[in-house]
Every structure is written in C-alpha cells, then in structure tokens.
Structure 1
Amino acid sequence: MAHHDERTFVMAKPDAVQRGLIGEIIDRLEGRGLKLAGAKFMQIDEDLAHQHYAEHEDKPFFDELVGFITSGPVMAMVWEGADATQQVRRMMGATDPKEAQPGTIRGDLGLDLGQNVIHGSDHEDPGANEREIELFFDEDELVDWDRADEPWVYEDVSH
C-alpha cells in the first residue's frame, strides 16, 4: 500500500444488488480515484450479520438490520485511497437518503432509510475499517497494486 493510502470497507447492500447498482457504485468510487483492493459477491449469514452489526445489538431496529442484510446477496469491497474512509462517507451521503444531498450515492439512488443502497465504515470509529475488513476478507484476498493513473490522482506520486 502506498504511503497515502488508507483501506476502507464498503458494501453494496441487497437492495443495490437487486436494483443492478453494483456497477454504478463501483464506477463512482473508481471515478473518484479510489482503488479497489478486494471484492466478494456473497450471501451474508445470520452469524456474520450479528458480528457486523454488533454495536447495534441492543437497539430496537437490530432484527430489521439483520433481516435486511441477509435478505439477498451483497457485494463486499475494500477500497484504498488518501483518507478513503472519509471520502467514501462523503460520497455516500446522509444515512437517510431523503436527507442525502443530490450527487451523493444515497441522494441519487435511494429513497428509504431501511434500504439505503450502501454501507461504508464509520470514519469516526478508528477501529471500524480493520474490524469490518477482517470480518469479510482474509489478508490474501486483498490485492496490493498500483493504478496506472495514480500520478494523475495524487500530486505527490513519483515513480
């Protein structure tokens, strides 16, 4: 991983998969200059869902979260880039798509809080990235590589 890169976990949720939005989500993240380090099309089981949403276990909406995330396949991904977690969060928009700004993924592609298309690691929780990446990926499933256009994305890249 280059010195300016941070890894972050992103998931196209079951509603995004069912609506054919995986490509649109990947396109937006790639277009921003972020680099895909790993991707896995998968069905989340209850055990993994419980681990993924562990911090919400005592909340009234926990069962709904688990039910939704296990309702169909997801695309789990790891993206790299400078300040990747915060960049992805800004691109995703507000959690409730009705409040998300136009131009954001949720603002353009979602209408419902329960079906908000995308999940990204929380930039305010320093351990969220590593925890979520380790839940979904083994280290050997992640690829360390250089994008050919990195000198055109970052001004401090010298090869």
Structure 2
Amino acid sequence: MERTLVLCKPDAVQRGLVGQILTRFEQKGLKLVGMKLRQFPKELLEQHYSDHKERPFFPSLVGFMGSGPVVAMALEGIDAIAVVRGLMGKTNAREAAPGTIRGDLGMSFSNNLVHGSDSAESAAKELALFFPGADELVDWTPCTLEWSYSVGEELKG
C-alpha cells in the first residue's frame, strides 16, 4: 500500500467542491487515512513549494495557497500516487481530459483545484509537513477492501 498527499486548494474549498473531489477518490477505491481543514501558515507553504523557490511564480503560488482554507488529505491504496495523479488530470485544467477532476471542474492553470504528490519521496516529505503528529493518520481496514482489490492476488503478504 502506498500513501499520498492531496490538497484541495482554496479555489476548491471556496467553490464547495471538496465533497465531490473526495468522492472521486473514495469511489475509485482509495482509503482516506487523514484529513484536516486549515489555513496553513506561509512558512509551511514555502517549505512545501520549496522546489519552486527560484521560479517567478513562487510568491503568487504561496500567496494563493495561503489566501483561504485548504483541505489536506492523506490517501492510501495500491499505486495511490499514480492513481491520484491520473484522477486529477493535467495541471492546466483547460487541457485536462474529461472525466478527471480538473477536466470536469476546472478552467484555470493556476487555480487548478488540487495538488497531489508526484513521487514516493515527495509523498513522504509532504505527508510529514501536513500531518506531522504520529496520531494524525489512521490505520484501519475498510469492510469493502475485498471488493476493491483481489485480496488473493493484489494484497498478498
């Protein structure tokens, strides 16, 4: 099982799309293991986007992400990172395929509703930033697990 971070950005929260976005992940079979609504501090957002620090859009990106509440979610599943990124769609929502979150719900490159970790390394770093407490993520087994995966084939060991 793999864990990943998803952020419903301020535009998703302001537009009342958090429920629809979470529903898409849950309907796919991903398990929610952590969630919080916060207006995250500038320092945390700068650390989160530190890879873009030298880019000209860095200040506006941090400003946008700090402009309102964000919903941080930790999701778990087999290949969760790739699955989440596929469900999100291309960064530029106008170019995102229909059926993806951005393709169905977005029109902007910058206000593109969601962030998802792009690698296992990023996921580990990002989850530690947004869910730093040992008790902030929940280990649990959904009663639907065997209906989402072939337990005998995919969940061996």
TM-score (norm 2): 0.94
After TM superposition, which residue ranges in structure 1, 4 or more long, deviate above 6 angstroms?
A: none
Aligned length: 152
Percent of residue pairs bearing the same amino acid type = 52
**1:139 & 1:10 partners in 2: Cα distance?**
18
SS in 1 for 2:56: coil
Q: CA deviation at 1:44?
A: 1.2
Alignment of 1:98-113 (within 5 A): 98-113=94-109
* Structure 2: 5+ residue stretches without partners: none
TM-score (norm 1): 0.93
Which residue does the alignment assign to 1:130? 124
SS in 1 for 2:94: coil
* Structure 1: 5+ residue stretches without partners: none
Residue 74 (structure 2) pairs with residue 74 (structure 1): no
**2:8 & 2:45 partners in 1: Cα distance?**
14
SS in 2 for 1:71: coil
Equivalent of 1:97 in 93, 97, 113: 93
Aligned-residue Cα RMSD (Å) equals 1.0
Equivalent of 2:143 in 131, 139, 148: 148
Deviations along 1:25-83, whole A, 9 cap, x unmatched? 11000000000000010001110110010000000100110010000000001000000
SS in 2 for 1:98: helix
**1:139 & 1:122 partners in 2: Cα distance?**
23
Alignment of 1:43-58 (within 5 A): 43-58=39-54
